[in-house]
Chains A and B, each alone.
Chain A
């Protein structure tokens, strides 16, 4: 019997005997013979643990990792530092081998962690109600859009073209099936074009969707956008970089009704794109319209504080076809990782990390411009990521950097064909002056 099976061959015989069956096959008699698999599945024969590790390690070794190749790639996934305690704590089986906390008496660990997560997301976003997390930033943004349409009973949304392309693509997929009209607002000097917003917003507009800092790394004038949005009784959905929220004004304070974002920068590894977590926080008014699991505080019979899943009537297992969303899973373990990250970094550490990102990205920007091989793409303020125009084609540039063990930036032209040779570079707190200088030297050659 395979190593992950509890019974021995003898156990099986004995159990079958006790319940009156002659063999295992007779338990499967409901499966018609014509669809019983007659041959073995054509997959590789089982490997021992040693062989398995060797096999998988060989695949891992084929990938160039960020320890060996200095990463200046961002564009929605960032190489931030992860405190070493997190990797060990997240391995506690009580967290990772548990399921959804349906039985609160034996799930207080997960429930309390989510409650703490919700509190921290509320603090960062300046909005009072956070859910327990969603699949990722793109789906959180999409769910926010669907929620806005339900809440306003309108069916059109305006989205800034400076929102992450993958978020826009995801939204477009959902919207197409849900019959939601999505219209884009172009950018002007890298920021959302306010004139265009003014001319496109109308009584059908459920929400205006923007990102801050946006895909180009630029800080937007959120308050001006909020004003236009609210005058029209539309909702403002703001996708934010959580690290930036320790120094930038919070979405809530600037008038966002819904804040969402990619939570990966909060202590989650790059992992080739996932698993990450999407965060979402809303105003009190939208509390009962919000998708996803929510944890609330209450007491037991003895008056002790405890936590439970609450406001469940919004969810699919109760509302079925009338649910606000089909979401069932959250990204609990990733949200826990984010909670740990925000705990270890704390009030001061997060701000310091953000300041390092700001300083280092500006240093890299200034040095690159000095080489005369790069020109500014926009002049608006940025946080940890910036866009420049390269003299050389981006693919050629990145190829060259790779030879010096550097993973270069993102080719903006892939998504914005009008921005020829535009290059997006992310500089986190992990990048040293030496690494930045090496990038500048090679790129400036």
Chain B
């Protein structure tokens, strides 16, 4: 299974990359493989306040719509605009294709996320 050691993971198949107080969120390679060709990414507006566990992104494939949950609480400060024109980036390189960045309001939430090993165990 393709994983990056430096990232944090969530049971619901999101990954998180922390840069200072910002958490970049994407979905794992395993998740993109399960979903198939992603055709559209519905993202929240910049400025949206989210709480960990909120459904805040929808990924659409041809015949399915999957919810993505916020791994941490905070404010959405960036969205990856490239995905609007090219949602296939998630299929091509799930760990590069971040979807949104959250300015964390409780940065200690990161500690309760899974490590690469823990996530891998979960997927097996």
Contact = CB atoms under 8 A, between A and B. Distances in A.
Interface in A314-364: 318-319, 322
A288 B59 CA distance: 13
Nearest to B60: A313
B81 to A, nearest CB: 15
A384 to B, nearest CB: 41
Contact of A318 (B39, B40, B42, B64): B64
Interface string A142-174: 000000000000000000000000000000000
Interface residues of A, number: 6
Contacts of B123: none
Main secondary structure of the interface of A (DSSP, over half): helix
Nearest to B59: A313
Interface in B78-108: none
A112 interface: no
Main secondary structure of the interface of B (DSSP, over half): strand
B40 A288 contact: yes
Contacts of B64: 313, 318
Nearest to B58: A313
Contacts of B39: 313
A319 B42 contact: no
B63 A288 contact: no
Nearest to A289: B42
A312 interface: yes
B48 to A, nearest CB: 11
A330 to B, nearest CB: 19
Nearest to A323: B65
Interface in A93-116: none
Contacts of A318: 63-65
B42 A288 contact: yes
B40, B42, B62, B65 interface centre (most CB from chain A within 10 Å): B65
Contact of A319 (B40, B61, B62, B65): B65
Contacts of A288: 40, 42
Interface in B35-59: 39-40, 42
B105 to A, nearest CB: 22
Contacts of A312: 62-63
Contacts of A313: 39-40, 60-65
Interface string A297-316: 00000000000000011000
Interface string B24-42: 0000000000000001101
A312 B64 CA distance: 8
A15 to B, nearest CB: 36
Contacts of A319: 65
A288 B65 CA distance: 12
A322 to B, nearest CB: 8
B90 to A, nearest CB: 15
A134 B63 CA distance: 22
Contacts of B62: 312-313
A232 B61 CA distance: 34
Contacts of B61: 313
B94 to A, nearest CB: 20
A90 B65 CA distance: 36
A357 B60 CA distance: 46
Nearest to B66: A313
Contacts of B60: 313
A59 B7 CA distance: 75
A237 B109 CA distance: 44
A312 B62 CA distance: 7
A29 to B, nearest CB: 37
B49 to A, nearest CB: 14
A322 B42 CA distance: 14
A313 B35 CA distance: 13
Nearest to B67: A322
B60 to A, nearest CB: 4
Nearest to B61: A313
A312, A313, A319 interface centre (most CB from chain B within 10 Å): A313
Nearest to A287: B40
A157 B62 CA distance: 33
A312 B40 CA distance: 11
Interface string A270-289: 00000000000000000010
Contacts of B40: 288, 313
Contacts of B42: 288
A310 to B, nearest CB: 8
Contacts of B65: 313, 318-319, 322
A319 B60 CA distance: 11
Nearest to A319: B65
A288 B40 CA distance: 10
Contacts of B63: 312-313, 318
Interface of A: 288, 312-313, 318-319, 322
Interface of B: 39-40, 42, 60-65
Given A312-B62, A313-B40, A313-B62, 10 more contacts: A288-B40, A288-B42, A312-B63, A313-B39, A313-B60, A313-B61, A313-B64, A313-B65, A318-B65, A319-B65
By Cβ-Cβ distance, the 7 closest A-B pairs, closest first, are A313-B60, A313-B65, A319-B65, A318-B65, A318-B64, A318-B63, A312-B63
